[in-house]
């Protein structure tokens, strides 16, 4: 079934006439009529009849319009969902980390992130640094956070997030 023709039919059903549908779709009336006739021929059923300046839907046309509404509503939902994924506002963020960042840094960061992106699920996996890098290289994680110095795989882009200062004193200076 030609979905373009189905959309034209559905628009005619919504508008109640070919003229309104043609205007809404920004195409000519003869093009709309031709596509609907082609659709009727393809499925072997009559979907609408002329009535004055408008049309009325046959019983089959009414049922098909109802199903088309569901189909195009689902299409809109899918398109909207994909747009949200592109924007990063839905989905799942997989973070792989070592224990130090997992216990001391991520709770505050994730809390802030969830405040800004409430529809993004965050999955945190705590592993050693070698396994964290392995998961990044094998696309099992989106982000890796490890503590300590590390030489990274050439396929991984890395950024230094924090530096800790360490002070050493004698026991008598506690």
Asked whether the beta carbons of 5 and 38 are under 8 A apart, the reply is: yes
Q: What is the pLDDT of residues 117-127, one digit of tens each?
A: 898 999 999 99
- Sheet with 120-126, edge to edge strand ranges: 120-126, 91-97, 143-145
Q: Say how far apart CA 80 and CA 96 lie, in whole Å.
A: 29
Per-residue pLDDT of the chain (174 residues; tens, 9 = 90+): 889 999 999 999 999 999 999 999 999 999 999 999 999 999 999 999 988 888 999 999 999 999 999 999 999 999 998 898 888 888 899 999 999 889 988 999 999 999 988 989 999 999 998 899 899 889 999 999 887 766 666 777 777 777 766 667 777 755
Question: Would you state the pLDDT for residue 43?
Answer: 96
| Residue found under tokens 């195409």 | 27
Topology of the domain covering 3-85: Arc Repressor Mutant, subunit A (1.10.10)
Domain 88-174: CATH superfamily is: Periplasmic binding protein-like II (3.40.190.10)
How do the domains of the chain map onto residue ranges? 3-85, 88-174
Question: Would you state the pLDDT for residue 149?
Answer: 65
The three state secondary structure string of 80-142 is HHHHHHHHCCCEEEEEEECHHHHHHHHHHHHHHHHHHCCCEEEEEEECCHHHHHHHHHCCCCC
């Amino acid at each position: 079934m030609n979905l373009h023709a189905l959309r034209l039919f559905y628009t005619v059903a919504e508008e109640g006439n070919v003229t309104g549908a043609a205007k809404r779709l920004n195409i000519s009336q003869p093009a709309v009529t031709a596509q609907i006739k082609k659709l009727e021929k393809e499925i072997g059923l009559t979907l609408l009849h002329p009535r004055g300046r408008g049309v009325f839907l046959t019983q089959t046309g009414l049922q098909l319009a109802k199903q088309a509404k569901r189909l195009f509503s689902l299409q809109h939902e899918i398109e909207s969902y994909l747009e949200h994924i592109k924007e990063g506002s839905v989905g799942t963020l997989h973070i792989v980390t070592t224990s130090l960042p997992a216990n001391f840094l991520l709770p505050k960061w994730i809390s802030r992130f969830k405040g800004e992106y409430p529809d993004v699920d965050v999955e945190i996996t705590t592993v050693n640094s070698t396994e964290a890098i392995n998961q990044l290289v094998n696309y099992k994680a989106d982000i890796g956070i490890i503590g300590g110095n590390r030489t990274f795989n050439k396929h991984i882009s890395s950024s230094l997030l924090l530096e800790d200062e360490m002070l050493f004193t004698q026991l008598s200076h506690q």
